[in-house]
Amino acid sequence: MKELATLLDWYGPERIWILTDDNVNRLVVPRIDTELRLPAEKHRIVIAPGEGAKSIETAQRIWRFLAEGGATRSHLLLNIGGGMVSDIGGFCASTFKRGMAYANVATTLLGAADACIGGKTGIDFLGLKNLIGSFAMPQKTVLYVPALDSLPYREQLSGFGEILKTALIGIPSLLDSILSDAEELFCSMPRLARMAEEAGDYKMQIVRRDPHEQYERKVLNFGHTFGHAFESLAMEKGRPLPHGVCIAHGIVSALVLSHLRLDCPSELLHRIAKEIVAPYYKTPAFTCDDYPRLLELMRSDKKNAIAGQILFVLLRNMAIPEIDVPADDREIAAALDITRDLLGS
């Protein structure tokens, strides 16, 4: 937090604006305020928690707040919260007056491992995840570790979904550690925090080499073509699920497709499905009746380079990813069938 304190001192309280959500504002912001002396409440905008708040309507409210408050491009927007807050906050900062600086204080495992890192910002639109957004790097991202003590179990699961993804695509030692102690995964928050920071550091190495996702950065989307479709479907049904929970289910589907298309070892698939996802994440919230809609959502995924074609990041083996692998509807439906069988649907 020392580097963040230095950054805030440089801007000064009159040039700093705070974005957070109701829960974090109540439970965490007062604790951070004692350490960093945050600006007065007139410089703070509080939005509703949850993915439903990541909308154009909320973005308009944030832009209006900044404009009416007299914010300029020389000011800083400080996003305090999880992935939803950093996504919409980064997007609003990157577009307000053609770009003002922003920084993130991650208060969740998901934020520390993935969402608050790397400069991808955005809002959901037309029922699709992050359909509108920008690439804009934060000036600083820090994990506020004390906030993790009050993190609900559901949010721990969400953050771990991204940790698992990163371990699979590029950190074999982390994956070995996860699988060797699967029954005790959520018994130690300090251990989870270390895993999140290791995953975040790995992501930043890739982002520095490919900031605008032209090639290598695409590997970070492993599990997300399926996962984003699962997440959007759950929101449409009025039963939203945390992002990382959907990614965990998406990882299983991607591993199934990896086995079918690239001969990824079945042992890896079964260990992840049976030792991690099935015990902790339970049954995925879709049936075979949902397949047509899931395919529609996947075709609309922003990661597809050719309209109508569904592309995936798959694995030949642990830490050997392949990007832009096409699959047809029959193969995707087979992967969904096997996912449901493996996870007990």
> How far is the C-alpha of 147 from the C-alpha of 237, rounded, in Å?
31
pTM of the model: 0.94
pLDDT at 306 over 90: no
Q: Mind listing the pLDDT tens digit for each residue in 88-99?
A: 999 999 999 999
Q: Are 122 and 95 in contact (CB under 8 A)?
A: no
Q: Are residues 119 and 264 in the same domain?
A: no
- How sure is the predictor about 144, in pLDDT bands with cuts at 50, 70 and 90? very high
Tell me the CATH number at 285.
1.20.1090.10
How many CB atoms within 10 Å of residue 335?
23
- The number of distinct structural domains making up the chain is 2
**Rounded mean pLDDT of 90-119?**
96
Q: Are residues 18 and 109 in the same domain?
A: yes
Q: Mind listing the pLDDT tens digit for each residue in 162-171?
A: 999 999 999 9
**Rounded mean pLDDT of 203-223?**
96
Q: Are residues 172 and 85 in the same domain?
A: no
Q: Are residues 143 and 173 in the same domain?
A: no
Q: Are 308 and 300 in contact (CB under 8 A)?
A: no
User: So what's the pLDDT on residue 112?
Assistant: 94
- pLDDT averaged over the chain? 95
Q: Are residues 133 and 199 in the same domain?
A: no
Last residue of a domain, one of 97, 114, 149: 149
pLDDT at 345 over 70: no
User: So what's the pLDDT on residue 304?
Assistant: 79
Q: Are residues 143 and 219 in the same domain?
A: no
Q: What angle do CA 255, 239, 189 make, to 5 degrees?
A: 60
Residue labelled with tokens 């919409």: 88
For the CA atoms of 245, 214, 174, 223, the dihedral, rounded to the nearest 10 degrees, stands at 30
Cα of 136 vs its chain's centroid, Å: 16
**Rounded mean pLDDT of 150-166?**
95
> How far is the C-alpha of 260 from the C-alpha of 322, rounded, in Å?
14
| Residue-number span of the structural domain to which 58 is assigned | 2-149
Structure tokens at 14: 């009159």
User: So what's the pLDDT on residue 282?
Assistant: 86
Of the CA atoms within 13 Å of residue 18, those in its CB half-sphere come to 26
Q: Mind listing the pLDDT tens digit for each residue in 278-296?
A: 999 988 989 999 999 999 9
**Rounded mean pLDDT of 131-159?**
94
**Rounded mean pLDDT of 10-23?**
96
Task: Say how many Å lie between the first and final Cα of the chain, rounded.
Answer: 44
Last residue of a domain, one of 149, 164, 193: 149
User: So what's the pLDDT on residue 3?
Assistant: 86
Structure tokens at 46: 């509080």
User: So what's the pLDDT on residue 66?
Assistant: 98
